[in-house]
Structure formats: structure tokens, C-alpha cells
């Protein structure tokens, strides 16, 4: 009891070590129990951490599953470059899927709006890809601290044959015993980073020196102000609205997605420690940078019921 005043019991695993071990356990459990798992790779920082953990989980073997990227064709060019480099550097199979019907109809965030674009090019495309390859488990990098409906999601989140999520009928999840049983056509989404917070993610990236897309770091980039957000002009498909002008600003991104839907923040943080410093004094939460959540405060739960990650 003489340790009481110090609080920390020296023998306990640190927060990051405990999170790391728990994630590796989850990743291995999926690989061992499912016949055809896949890792959704969205190129962002959470995906980067998840992939790093997967490399550790199976070392010296390679992860026994491919990566899948659902490409809406509107991702930042830096993301695509980083994605291809990463798969090559790690020697992993990378599957890329784009919704062919969406492509044919030229679905895009400008003409169709964020909600339609996200539904067709992300949610539907993801379902198509999962069906096409018959994956029975898909890893995602979502965290419970991101958003309220995620706080109740299981680590092994069951999806019916239509990829739907039923928040009222989730399997109880006790200890570290995950129920991996699914019938044909059904699947699970596995979330190894469930218990990580954004701060944990950055700390881990920094201590493990995990490569990240440069867009997270501040640089001078061409942006326009639209709906109160700074949107980067990543290519010439971005048409300016009346009154809009392209400005060169030093900005960075807190989350990465389709460039027309991802708001930048003005920042000087051009190194990882600077980002963490900025984070520690942050006044706005992470998903603020994403247009898709703005529709309604319960919008994420609706999307997830429909099969969104």
C-alpha cells in the first residue's frame, strides 16, 4: 500500500502497451477464426496504425490477408501515392475497388452532394467489394471515441447478409472472448482500435515512427473557403463557385477522405510533435473536418445500419 501516493503501480503495462497488445490479439483472432478476412485500408492515420499492428501481429510472417481500398476516385492524390508505396514497401496484396455503376453515372461530391456520393461510392462500393471477394471478416480502423454510436459498437461487429448493423441486437462481448461464428453470407467488421483515442493514435505514431500521408502535416496548399470549411483544390475537377477564389494557405488535415468533402485547418504544425502539441490544446473535435456528419447528429448511426463502416 506504500505505492498509494504515487498512484501508478510500476508493474502494470502502460496504456499504449496494453492497447497495442489488445489490438494484436484481436487481429490474430480474426485471422485464426475466419476463412477469408480482409483489411480495409483507408490510407489515413488510423489505418496506418492498424496496418502497423498487423505487421507486428504476424511477424516474421506477413499478414495472411489482403488490403482493400474502396476508391471513390476523389481521394487526395497524395493518398493514392502513399497507398501504393505502402503496399509495395510492405509486400502486401492491395485490392482496389470502385463502384462501376457510380463511375459510369459520374457520381461526384459536387453535383450529387456529400450524402449521395458517400452512399454510392463508399457504402455501396464497400458492400460490392465485400460480396465480390466473399470476405467473411473486414478489419476497420474505427475508434469508439470518434462518435457516439461507435461507443456501443462491438469489437467483432456482426453484419447480416445485407451488411446491415442492428444496434439493438448486438452480441454480448465479454473478456477477450470474441464470437467469430457467422453463417454463409454473413460477416463481421472487426475494430482492433476500438479502445484507442485520437491522442493514443498520435502518441503511437510518434513513438513507433509510423509513416503517414504528408497531408497531416501543415504545408502551403491551394484552398477555397466553402460552407465555412477550407477545401483544398487537389485537381482541376474542382469547379469554383461564383465569388470563390483560390488562396494559398498553410493548412493541414486532421482526417483524410475525399478531398472535396474534407476540410483543412489552418496550422503551422509541420512536424509530428507539433501536431500532437496542437491536438493537446485542440478546441475542435476530429470529425468536424468531415462534411458527412453534419447532416444530423445521429447520421452516423443511420449510415452504419445501412452498412457504412
Shortest distance, position 253 Cβ to other proteins, whole Å = 16
Q: Is 284 in the site for other proteins (CB under 8 A)?
A: yes
What's phi and psi for 307, nearest 5 deg? 115, 5
Shortest distance, position 147 Cβ to other proteins, whole Å = 9
Residues in contact with other proteins, shown as a per-residue x/- string from 100 to 139 under the rule CB under 8 A = ----------------------------------x-----
By CB under 8 A, the residues from 164 to 203 that bind other proteins are: 167-168, 170-177, 179, 181-184, 186, 194-195, 197, 199-200, 203
- How many residues at the interface with other proteins, by CB under 8 A? 81
Q: Is 160 in the site for other proteins (CB under 8 A)?
A: no
Which residues does 166 contact at the CB level (< 8 Å), separation at least 6? 158, 160, 305
Only one residue has cell 511477424, namely: 59
- Of 83 and 159, the one with the shorter C-beta distance to other proteins is 159
Q: Using CB atoms within 10 A of its CB, is residue 283 exposed (0-12), middle (13-18) or buried (19+)? A: exposed
- Of 162 and 271, the one with the shorter C-beta distance to other proteins is 271
Question: Is the CA virtual torsion 109, 111, 115, 120 positive or negative?
Answer: negative
Q: Is 46 in the site for other proteins (CB under 8 A)?
A: no
Q: Is 248 in the site for other proteins (CB under 8 A)?
A: no
Q: What CA–CA distances, in Å, run from 47 to 27, 79, 161, 192, 294? A: 13, 12, 25, 10, 23
CA 232 to chain centre: 20
Q: Is 8 in the site for other proteins (CB under 8 A)?
A: yes
Amino acid at each position: 500500500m506504500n505505492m498509494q501516493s504515487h498512484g501508478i503501480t510500476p508493474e502494470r503495462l502502460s496504456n499504449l502497451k496494453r492497447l497495442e497488445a489488445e489490438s494484436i490479439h484481436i487481429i490474430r483472432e480474426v485471422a485464426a477464426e475466419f476463412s477469408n478476412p480482409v483489411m480495409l485500408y483507408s490510407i489515413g492515420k488510423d489505418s496506418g496504425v492498424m496496418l502497423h499492428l498487423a505487421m507486428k501481429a504476424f511477424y516474421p510472417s506477413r499478414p495472411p490477408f489482403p488490403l482493400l481500398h474502396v476508391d471513390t476516385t476523389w481521394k487526395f492524390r497524395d493518398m493514392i501515392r502513399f497507398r501504393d508505396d505502402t503496399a509495395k514497401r510492405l509486400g502486401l496484396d492491395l485490392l482496389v475497388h470502385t463502384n462501376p455503376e457510380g463511375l459510369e453515372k459520374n457520381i461526384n461530391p459536387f453535383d450529387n452532394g456529400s450524402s449521395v456520393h458517400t452512399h454510392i461510392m463508399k457504402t455501396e462500393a464497400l458492400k460490392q467489394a465485400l460480396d465480390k471477394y466473399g470476405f467473411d471478416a473486414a478489419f476497420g480502423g474505427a475508434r469508439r471515441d470518434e462518435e457516439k454510436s461507435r461507443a456501443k459498437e462491438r469489437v467483432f461487429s456482426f453484419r447480416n447478409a445485407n451488411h446491415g448493423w442492428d444496434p439493438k441486437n448486438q452480441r454480448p462481448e465479454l473478456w477477450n472472448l470474441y464470437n467469430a461464428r457467422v453463417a454463409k453470407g454473413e460477416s463481421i467488421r472487426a475494430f482492433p482500435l476500438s479502445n484507442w483515442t485520437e491522442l493514443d493514435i498520435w502518441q503511437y505514431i510518434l513513438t513507433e515512427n509510423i509513416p503517414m500521408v504528408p497531408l497531416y502535416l501543415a504545408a502551403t496548399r491551394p484552398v477555397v473557403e466553402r460552407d465555412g470549411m477550407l477545401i483544398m483544390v487537389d485537381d482541376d475537377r474542382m469547379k469554383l463557385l461564383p465569388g470563390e477564389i483560390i488562396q494559398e494557405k498553410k493548412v493541414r488535415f486532421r482526417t483524410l477522405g475525399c478531398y472535396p468533402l474534407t476540410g483543412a485547418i489552418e496550422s503551422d504544425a509541420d512536424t509530428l510533435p507539433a501536431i500532437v502539441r496542437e491536438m493537446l490544446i485542440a478546441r475542435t473535435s476530429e470529425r468536424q473536418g468531415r462534411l458527412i456528419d453534419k447532416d444530423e447528429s445521429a447520421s452516423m448511426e443511420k449510415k452504419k445500419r445501412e452498412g457504412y463502416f
